Structure 1
Amino acid sequence: MELNMKELTAEEITTLIAKLKDELKSRETATSRLVVYAHDCYDASNYHKNKYKHWCKLIKGIDDTKVNGYAFMGPFLCPFSENKVEIGSIVVEVCNTDYTAYKITGDNEKEKICKARRGALSKMIAVIKEQCEEEVC
């Protein structure tokens, strides 16, 4: 298949990139493995769980026009139960004002990507966006 990139508009290239990412993801999904993920505060005391705000999100994309938690696109996960996610997924966890991004590496295993506090998320958003582009979120 021969494709002349110079003849394509910017919109056509963007659409083509999105379709190619979807195709790659569908091919990887067929061979992907689900593992157990739990929030860092999963087994915390009831006092801690009730005192602080907790949430976690499976990252499917980044909206870099925003500089708060709304920049993270994807479904919410339950912070106080185990969740099944694919190996290599990126998850953002929140406990009070602390935001932490992890790459899921195995059952109850995760690798920290970066950490930030509410109100100072722009660097974290940029790092996760870069990871998503490399990993095809």
Structure 2
Amino acid sequence: MRPALLGVCFSAGVVLGILGTVLHGNILMLGATETGTVLPWGAALALLMCLMAQLWAGLKSGSLLEPMLMGVTTFTVASIAYLWPGPDQLVVPYSPEAMELLPGPTLASVIWWLGTAAVTLVAMVLVKWIVVRDRSVSR
């Protein structure tokens, strides 16, 4: 069962990395572009999907290996998209110039990229806490 679940987690990490990279660019600007508030709802939704998938994997297995594998795979795919050279980028890498010209997409890209690592850590802490709590309750 474990090798199959590890394969599912790796594959899900690839899919989440691609889906999140596509989804993260959905933003809502409240107010004028120059002075308005950026709501990166696509990045938030993509990170929520990653968190839920990693929690499922960790609670299904009772281990930290599966959510870690899924998270590292997602982060790797997001990093490849973030660092991809050329004019056909799906992610806007941070720079002061990019932040001035495209504040919404730049902010959404940074949130998505760094958020994949943060979500993985949060998921691993939550899985560990839930598994330990459930083991102590069942005794």
Band of TM-score, shorter chain: under 0.3
Normalised by the size of structure 1, how large is the TM-score?
Answer: 0.24
